Structure 1
Amino acid sequence: MSSSHDFDFFHGEWQVRNRRRTDFLDPDSAWEEFPATNRCWPLFDGAANVDEIDMPHLRAKGATLRLFDRETGQWSLNWAASRSGTLFPPVVGRFDGNRGEFYGDDTYDGKDVRVRFVWSGVSPAGARWEQAFSVDGGETWVTNWTMDFSRPPGSTAVAP
């Protein structure tokens, strides 16, 4: 069951290995890989957090605001991109153990897409995030971006 402390593992600094498809909707498109750094800090005694990722390869940064809704027991993940200055529609969901699934609706390249974020392998030392899009209402998915998070040498998790 989800709780307001599901993302406590994510507080602090991270090194990030990104893999993303060159075409987010084509399951046969090539993958590109690049490093990034990330920093996350808690808000509202753990019931919210914000992080910023720096991706020099893309000449871009991104930020996510995560909010826990105590009534529904769900998180909303709200992504903003530095290049466009856009706040994208949220994905909403919850954790079951150390795996979280979050869903939302958006558009990509002029097409309506269902969006899925999955957090897995969650621990104080590492985690994996992946993004997938569906153009058929969730019948099939194209995983188009993964991030593998690991702590930089000498870094530790931030206490909530």
Structure 2
Amino acid sequence: MNDFDFLAGHWNVVNRRLVKALAGSDEWDEFPGRSVATRHFDGAASFDEIAFPTKGSSGLTVRLFDPGARQWSIYWASSTRGTLDASPMVGEFAGSRGEFYGEETYEGRRVRCRFIWTVLGSDAARWEQAFSADGGRTWETNWTMDFSRA
């Protein structure tokens, strides 16, 4: 239930995002971020806000642990949309690696989505997002965030 405790605090974030996902692109946009994460419900909830200063936007993540299912649900909100995603990413940690799956709408079509969180120590972590257009048989990583403690 305390899987996201590592994230509590202030972080500098290096973002790399594919300019165009699911198109065979290898052109990446790199930009900075600053994140502040907090823990709640004795570790069964985790919130963070991330600012993307060069993009003029920010995002908010809400993570909730379901003790019955022993899984996390992850919800995202962007300042550009002003809404909380209706469908969460759901999954769990095994050691220092967490995998979470859900559905996403990308350019008007539904695709499978995967988040991977990797804890790299007390002062470093990595988040990756990947899309699958074939039901999860193949994945294309389209966004990575490398976190270093501020």
TM-score (norm 2): 0.96
Aligned counterparts, 1:55-134, within 5 A: 55-88=52-85, 89-134=87-132
TM-score (norm 1): 0.90
String of CA shifts for 1:21-66, please: whole Å, max 9, x gaps: 0012223240010111000001111100100000012111000000
Q: Tell whether the 8 Å contact from 1:119 to 1:130 is kept in structure 2 after alignment.
A: yes
Aligned amino acid, residue 46 of structure 1: G
Counterpart of 2:21 in structure 1 is 24
Note the C-alpha offset of 1:106: 1.8
Q: Secondary structure at the match of 2:3?
A: coil
Is there any run of 5+ residues in structure 2 with no aligned partner, and where?
none
In 2, Cα distance between the equivalents of 1:36 and 1:18? Answer: 7
Q: Tell whether the 8 Å contact from 1:99 to 1:122 is kept in structure 2 after alignment.
A: no
- Cα RMSD between the aligned structures? 1.0
Is there any run of 5+ residues in structure 1 with no aligned partner, and where?
153-160
Note the C-alpha offset of 1:18: 0.3
Q: Tell whether the 8 Å contact from 1:27 to 1:143 is kept in structure 2 after alignment.
A: no
Note the C-alpha offset of 1:146: 0.1
Counterpart of 1:157 in structure 2 is none
Runs of 4+ in 1 over 4 A off after TM superposition: none
Counterpart of 1:51 in structure 2 is 48
Equivalent pairs counted in the alignment come to 149
In 1, Cα distance between the equivalents of 2:142 and 2:4? Answer: 23
**Percent identity of equivalent pairs:** 54
Q: Tell whether the 8 Å contact from 2:19 to 2:25 is kept in structure 1 after alignment.
A: no
In 2, Cα distance between the equivalents of 1:94 and 1:116? Answer: 12
Q: Tell whether the 8 Å contact from 1:12 to 1:40 is kept in structure 2 after alignment.
A: yes
Q: Secondary structure at the match of 2:90?
A: strand
Q: Tell whether the 8 Å contact from 2:14 to 2:31 is kept in structure 1 after alignment.
A: yes
Counterpart of 1:35 in structure 2 is 32
In 1, Cα distance between the equivalents of 2:41 and 2:4? Answer: 12
In 2, Cα distance between the equivalents of 1:103 and 1:61? Answer: 22
